[in-house]
A = this chain, B = another copy of it.
């Protein structure tokens, strides 16, 4: 990337396509010779297509680290300390990667979610992103992006759900949804 300044990009909103968009950005970046890491703050129990596709590109080009665990139950009274511990662990991995000099683009997948559920402190995260090595691009995904993050970001796209297949009774599809 030479001396270009890295961008801070946020994909948020209730619609589908936030992680998908980050995967597309990673794919494009790999094609331009950038080294990419995606830290997945939320991990599903299913099999992810992106993990196999990343292997096809080569681990030295696009590395995906599924960390954390599933989404918390809506309506949970309190944040589970174990979720906080895992969110901190993910953030530490992401932060270290951003500062390591080993990656040109670091994707913090679903970090917005963990911030909005108070598993991570927004101020701490934004402060570290602000001071990052200036050539590193960062993408943060997840619903309800924090106002501090939006303020600091260079690009924010909100995904709005116009129509969703589940409302038509179609289940999640392998290769498309995961």
* Stretch from A5-13, A114-122, A123-131 contacting the other chain: A5-13
The reply to whether B162 and A158 form a contact with Cβ atoms under 8 Å apart is yes
| Number of A residues, CB within 8 Å of B | 63
Indicate if A50 sits at the interface (CB-CB under 8 A).
Answer: yes
Indicate if A73 sits at the interface (CB-CB under 8 A).
Answer: no
Report which of B10, B31, B156, B165 forms a contact with A7, defined as CB distance below 8 A. Answer: B165
The reply to whether B31 and A20 form a contact with Cβ atoms under 8 Å apart is no
Which residues of A27-80 are within 8 A (CB) of B? Answer: 27-34, 48-54, 56-58, 61
In the assembly, how many copies of this chain are there? Answer: 2
The reply to whether A160 and B158 form a contact with Cβ atoms under 8 Å apart is yes
Indicate if A86 sits at the interface (CB-CB under 8 A).
Answer: no
Indicate if A24 sits at the interface (CB-CB under 8 A).
Answer: yes
The reply to whether B1 and A174 form a contact with Cβ atoms under 8 Å apart is yes
List 17 additional contacts besides A28-B176, A28-B178, A53-B57; criterion CB under 8 Å.
Answer: A1-B173, A4-B174, A5-B170, A19-B24, A23-B24, A23-B28, A29-B49, A29-B176, A31-B49, A31-B50, A31-B53, A32-B52, A33-B175, A105-B176, A155-B163, A155-B164, A156-B163
A-B contact pairs, 30 of them (CB 8 A): A1-B175, A4-B174, A10-B163, A17-B21, A17-B157, A17-B159, A22-B24, A27-B49, A27-B50, A27-B53, A28-B175, A28-B178, A30-B49, A31-B52, A31-B54, A32-B52, A56-B56, A57-B57, A137-B173, A137-B176, A150-B162, A153-B163, A154-B163, A154-B168, A154-B170, A157-B160, A157-B161, A158-B160, A158-B161, A159-B160
